[in-house]
Amino acid sequence: MIRDARDIIKKPLVTEKSTSLMELGKYSFEVDTKANKVEIKKAVEELFKVKVKTVNTIRVTGKMKRMGAFVGRRPSWKKAIVTLEEGSKPIEIFEGL
């Protein structure tokens, strides 16, 4: 089953650390937990019209949270850090989504 690129890339991550990585040509995204590196690479290239060099993925475990006596957990999610090819144009974060 072929999935749409917008189903794979959920949203860009804009944090202090990810903003500093943008200067090095690295961009962070929250992605579908079932997506692999090849699917993520194709999705980013399709959405933003850039050439991707590498994709690194991290599975982030949800934090434990308490509400009084009740204990719960935030959902786990997957993060992808995408490195662009040298000379590739920078991604305008809110352009393709």
Every domain of the chain and the residues it spans: 5-84
Residue at token pair 């393709």: 96
**Mean residue pLDDT across the chain:** 92
Confidence of residue 84 (pLDDT cuts 50, 70, 90): very high
pTM: predicted TM-score of the whole model, two decimal places: 0.88
pLDDT exceeds 70 at position 1: no
If we measure between CA atoms, which residue out of 30, 24, 33 comes closest to residue 44?
Answer: 30
CATH superfamily of 5-84: RRM (RNA recognition motif) domain (3.30.70.330)
